[in-house]
Chains A and B, each alone.
Chain A
């Protein structure tokens, strides 16, 4: 298992065993100045504060949470675009932190990402087909004509017609561009695909095209995916398990149906109740969160959610709740859910 890095084994979906990705006690603190301008005190902004999770082969894990809760930071740490303050990330059983540059470059072939902005991810002066073959050529994987054939095949398989191959990014629609970004990520036959808000720049009618495509490719290539999104409608559609984040911490993690049918954390409950449903006259019971999100450099004591929680008890401001399992396997960090208060 150890010497796998170089091989391009792709379809590992049912080959369970050790998880493909394992994250333990991940922290990322940023040093930032508090409001007082140039002379303001420097503070720690705890963007990711003790996050652990693992993803098995072939699984899709969703990460949801408020803006600023640390989702993109986690994505950047996983892809080693940024280094953690502390904590361990293991990919295929190997720690990312100990890798030599050569090993890291190899590893990068197996971890690809798709970010929100499809234009930013593409080189405006490069034809579509060249954008897609470029990673193959960089990694010196095949001859030029082989690369071209492979890219063309992939592009066709995601419904891009041959006449688009020789266009430039600005000559494509948003949905087409996002498909090119996907093709660029998938041409390396990665084992892990990290998607950070891959459809939020897209229109609804186009978004469904991209979501369907992702689902199809996942089946075909046995992809393992981390799917970051603030749109829980999409997350429900595409993920098998979800982590819900609030201010740098995972507050709940569960299988998708469990989470949507019996959310256990008050934040998850409020979040689910706030999502609009395309059906008039439902008259749903809404849970409105109190006040505003707290400042990330001046975090509330105890449970970070207590300032906005509709079920908070006095004790919640004192002790930090641990992320622990309920009887049904759902992980929750809430005193109330565990009957501790």
Chain B
């Protein structure tokens, strides 16, 4: 407990590494513009693991892709994304290229389709090391086709060095036969191994912020445990901040320091993991936690959240959760609740937040 206290004291004194505010995303669909993110805001502090949780389609992936400016170019993005002192949304392509990988790196939801099936693992890891290396003229994208003899020679040296670095990285992420792995193709490796390769590539630029989008969803639980352990230990070793996107609240409980719960393109509750699990205030967070079956105890009846998530084009006028909420007030139908700030960095968007008396 003490440790946590000092942690939050330190946190309040430090500036956030990443600060997102009022982030909105609209997509142009055949039936017109549809808003899928309705003003999302949260901070990531140096060295912390933030869990971004929520059910399918609530906007977790698009939020993270907006940070990296990797969204479909037809999407309209509004709001602010500050990384250190830069506004990422107004950064030009050149600035973004410099930043991607080296400051912020991303692991995507599906490892197999994110790796190139026709190239060896070695080639892909080496490329990401060279691409992220601090020597700009070795970066092929910047260099173009004009390669002088000197550069070629230099590049050979660098490729050598990159190979050594690749082996070191693969070793670090727990791949046993690194030499052999470098020669293999993605389809020859298991899902867990491919995910390790993805993590190794993300680490190549020594990023300060790692965004991991469902890094373990496709894996067996035994492998998931290994990968999450790896992510935690990397954070400690490299002092990275991590945004861990997941729909699994148990993973958040065991891996993250703070969390933000999303529902229908909004963050409805955020705070420390300890705080929220001990006393969730938003009716949806309460509902989610009460609906979980768990191995460590026998539960007679799960308490599901009745109803289902509204589609983006059928969003209620008031609180997005109102149709499913069992403590809704009249005002909930009419207006949207704004996020309130409470002690210990907790914030809730609800007209009728619940306090205490929560037991699973």
Residues of A within 8 A of B (CB): 35, 66-67, 173-176, 203-209, 211-212, 230, 232-234, 236-238, 257, 260, 270-282, 286, 288-289, 291-293
Contacts and interface: CB of A to CB of B under 8 A. Distances in A.
A237 B299 contact: yes
Given A203-B55, A237-B302, A278-B250, A286 B291 contact: no
Given A205-B55, A233-B294, A288-B229, A280 B188 contact: no
B136 interface: no
Contacts of B277: 278-280
A288 B225 contact: yes
B193 to A, nearest CB: 6
Interface stretch (B16-24, B305-313, B326-334): B305-313
B130 to A, nearest CB: 28
B253 interface: yes
Given A277-B296, A291-B176, A204 B291 contact: yes
A203 B56 contact: yes
Given A230-B220, A282-B254, A203 B293 contact: no
B253 A289 contact: no
B207 to A, nearest CB: 25
Contacts of A275: 221, 250, 295
Interface of B: 55-56, 176, 188, 190-193, 220-226, 228-229, 247-251, 253-254, 273-274, 277, 287-289, 291-296, 298-299, 301-306, 308-309, 360
A288 B222 CA distance: 7
A208 B291 contact: yes
A107 to B, nearest CB: 32
Interface of A is mostly: helix
A212 B225 contact: no
Given A203-B56, A207-B291, A278 B249 contact: yes
Most chain B CB within 10 A, of A204, A260, A273, is at A204
A233 B221 contact: no
B306 A209 contact: yes
A278 B273 contact: no
A274 B274 contact: no
Nearest to A295: B190
Contact of B220 (A67, A207, A272): A67
Nearest to B255: A276
Contacts of B294: 233, 236, 277-278
| A-B pairs, 6 with minimum CB distance | A208-B304, A276-B250, A208-B291, A205-B305, A173-B308, A274-B225
A279 B306 CA distance: 23
A176 B308 contact: yes
Given A209-B306, A275-B221, A292-B192, A204 B295 contact: no
Contacts of B296: 277, 279
Given A280-B273, A280-B277, A286-B225, A212 B304 contact: yes
14 contacts: A176-B308, A208-B291, A208-B305, A212-B301, A212-B302, A237-B299, A257-B298, A274-B221, A275-B295, A276-B251, A280-B273, A288-B229, A289-B226, A293-B190
B302 A203 contact: no
Contact of A175 (B221, B251, B308): B308
Contacts of A67: 191, 220
A266 B51 CA distance: 31
Given A67-B220, A203-B55, A288-B229, A278 B302 contact: no
Given A236-B293, A276-B248, 10 more contacts: A176-B308, A204-B247, A205-B305, A209-B306, A237-B293, A276-B253, A277-B296, A278-B289, A280-B273, A286-B229
